[in-house]
Amino acid sequence: MDAADREQLLARLRGVVGERYAFADPYEMRLYQYDASPETALPDIVVIPGTAADVARVVKICADAQVPITARSAASSLAGGTVPVEHGVVITFARMDRILEIDPDNQRAVVEPGVVNLALSQALKPLGYYYVPDPSSQGACTIGGNVGTNAGGPHTLLYGVTVNHVTGLELALPSGALVQVGGRKAAAASGYDLTGLFVGSEGTMGIATKIWVKIQPLPPVQKTLMAVYPDVETASNAVSAIVRSGILPAAIEMMDKLSIQAIEAASHAGYPLDAGAVLLLEVDGIPELVDELGERMAKACRESGATEVRVAKDEAERQALWKGRKGAFSAMGRLSPDFYVMDGVVPRTRLPETLAKIDAISARTGFKICNVFHAGDGNLHPLVLFDAFKPGQYEAVLRIGDEILKLCADAGGSVTGEHGIGLEKRENIRYVFSDDDLEVMDRIRRVFDPHGLMNPGKVFPGEVLEGSAPSRAPDHASRRAAAGIGGDDVWV
C-alpha cells in the first residue's frame, strides 16, 4: 500500500473509530506484527474498534478498498494465525472485552470477542458455573480467538472443544453485513449451522463480534493424580489402557523427562526428576464417587506400569500440578533459547509408535525434542529446541516439524489439534486433505469472502488461493531478534 492510499484509508477508518484508535505509525505497529509463532509481518494500519457496528463499518471500508483484514486479539496463536502476512489492516479487540450477559436460566453467557477466556470462568464461578474450554493460554487468550481456532485445552477430553460450547455468533462479513447466526437456544434448529461452520475458520470468513456460549455447572469435586512411568512408551501405552478400562477422565496429560526437568526448574510442581514420563490425570465427580474413581484410575495406572501414583491431597497440591503443566512451554526457556511447537494428532493407540519415531528423528538430527501434550486425545505437542542465531538451525527445525506432521498424518491423525493451520501449516494441510477436499472448502470460503480479503494467506495452501502469500521469510533469526521476541510467554 503506498503512502497516499494509506493516509486516505487511515482517515476513513479514523472517521469510524476516532483519531486515537486507528494508527499507522511503524513504531506503534510493531506490537501487531507478530503472534506466538515465529513469523512476523507489519500491518499497514491497526484499528481498535469499540463496538460491533464499528467492526462492521471498518470491514466494509477495507473490503471496498480491497485491503486485507486480519483479526487479532491476544495474539497467542502458535500457528501464525494473526500475523498480517499480506499486510493491510489489523483489527484488534482490546476495547471489546465486555461480558455482555450472564444468563444462568438459559445456561448461556454472551461475550464480546476480546473477553479473556479465564475472565469468563472467573465471572461465572460465584454462580457455580464455568466455561469449559481451557487452553493453557487461558489467562491471556480471548474467546474471539478461541472461536477463530476452535481452541481446545486439557479439559476438552471429556467435555469437547470450543465449537461444542458455542451456540451463536454475530458476524461482521466482508459484505458489510452484521449478521446473527444461532443464538441463545441449542445450536441450529433450522437452516444451515453457520455457527458450527464458522468456528475454527481462522478469520477467513469474517469476524465474530458477539459470541453466545454454553456455561456448565462446576464439578463438585476434582481429583488430580500424577502417575510416574519409567519411560514414554509405557506411559503412552497406559493412556489407551486407562481409556479402555471404561473411565474417561476429564484430562490426561503427558510430560516426558526433558519437560519435567524444565518444569521443575521453573515452577517446582512436584514432578519427580528421575521419572521417564509423567501422566497428569483428572477426574471430576460427586464427593461420594470421586474417591472410588480416583482409586480405579490409580489402579489402572499401576497395572499399566506406573511405578508411583500420587493423588493431590488438597487444592494447593492440585493447583501446583496443573501450574507445572500449563506453564510447561514457558519453562522451556530454561533449556533452550528457542523452541518450535508442533500440534499433531494421532489416534491414541498410535501414541507409542509415533513418540518412538519422534525420538528417532531427534537422535538422527541432533535436535532435542520435548513432549508435553494432551495424551488423552492423542494431541501431541513436540517442542523442538534450537537456537535461532545459529545459522541453518531454524530451517532444519522447520524440516523436522514437517516430518513430524507427516508421520502424524500417516498414522491416521491430523496436522493440527487445536492451534489451527494458520500460516505455519498451510502446506502441511495437504497431508490430510486432497485437492478435491480443499477445493470444496475454498468454494465455501469464497461464499463469505469472494475477494480473498479475510486473513489472506492462511489455512489454504498457496496454490489453492489466487494471489498466494509470500513464503516463509528467510531472515527469520534477524527479524526475530529485531522484534525482540524471546522464548517466554508461550502456552499450549
Question: Scanning residues 52 to 91, which ones bind other proteins (CB under 8 A)?
Answer: none
* CA gap 460, 439 in Å, rounded: 10
Ordered alpha helix ranges (H), 30-183: 52-64, 117-124, 143-149, 156-159
Q: Does 305 help bind other proteins (rule: CB under 8 A)?
A: no
Helices 351-365 and 393-410, axial angle in degrees (round to 10): 160
- Contact between 121 and other proteins by CB under 8 A: the answer reads no
Q: Which is nearer to other proteins, 39 or 284 (CB)?
A: 284
Tell whether residue 223 is a contact of other proteins (CB under 8 A). no
Q: What residues contact residue 344 under an 8 Å CB cut-off, 6+ apart?
A: 354, 379, 380, 382, 404, 405, 407, 408, 409, 413, 414, 415, 416, 417
Of 3 and 189, nearer to other proteins (C-beta) is: 189
List the interface residues with other proteins, window 126-165 (CB under 8 A): 149-150, 152, 156, 160-161, 163-164
Q: Which three cell numbers stand for residue 254?
A: 503427558
Of the candidate residues 1, 48, 199, 332, the single one contacting other proteins (CB under 8 A): 199
Q: Is 429 in the site for other proteins (CB under 8 A)?
A: yes
Q: Which stretch binds other proteins (CB under 8 A): 246-254, 318-326, 332-340, 462-470?
A: 246-254
Residue closer to other proteins, measured from CB, 412 or 467: 412
* Least distance in angstroms from the C-beta of 172 to other proteins: 13
Which position among 253, 256, 418, 424 is part of the footprint of other proteins (CB under 8 A)?
418
Among 174, 200, 382, 401, binds other proteins (CB under 8 A): 200
Q: Minimum distance between the CB of residue 371 and other proteins, rounded to whole angstroms?
A: 16
For position 324 contacting other proteins by CB under 8 A, the verdict is no
CA 62-36-203 angle, to 5 degrees, is 35
DSSP 475: -
Rounded to a whole number of angstroms, the minimum distance from the CB of residue 445 to other proteins is 7
3-state secondary structure of 477: helix
> Grid coordinates standing for 142?
480471548
Tell which one of 65, 102, 118, 289 touches other proteins (CB under 8 A).
289
Of the listed pieces 20-28, 258-266, 306-314, 440-448, which binds other proteins according to CB under 8 A? Answer: 440-448
Cross-strand pairs, 417: none
Site for other proteins in 388-417 (CB under 8 A): 412-417
Number of residues near other proteins (by CB under 8 A): 90
Judged by beta carbon, residue 153 or residue 487, the one nearer other proteins is 153
By the rule CB under 8 A, 184 interacts with other proteins:
yes
Task: Return the closest-CA partner of residue 55 out of 6, 100, 22.
Answer: 22
Q: Determine whether 25 is exposed, middle or buried from the number of CB atoms within 10 Å of its CB (0-12, 13-18, 19+).
A: exposed
CA 492, CA 323: separation in Å to the nearest integer?
12
Vertex 159 angle, CA 342 and 296, to 5°: 95
Specify the stretch interacting with other proteins by CB under 8 A; choose among 110-118, 373-381, 392-400, 471-479: 373-381
190 counts as binding other proteins under rule CB under 8 A: yes
Tell me the sheet residues that pair with 103: 108
Residue 426 is placed in which grid cell?
498451510
Of these, 20, 189, 274, 316, which contacts other proteins (CB under 8 A)?
A: 189
Burial 255-265 (b: 16+ CB within 10 A, else e): bbbbbbbbbbe
Q: Which is nearer to other proteins, 308 or 437 (CB)?
A: 437
In whole angstroms, what is the distance from residue 74 CA to residue 54 CA?
A: 19
Instruction: Rule CB under 8 A: choose which of 244, 268, 334, 364 binds other proteins.
Output: 244
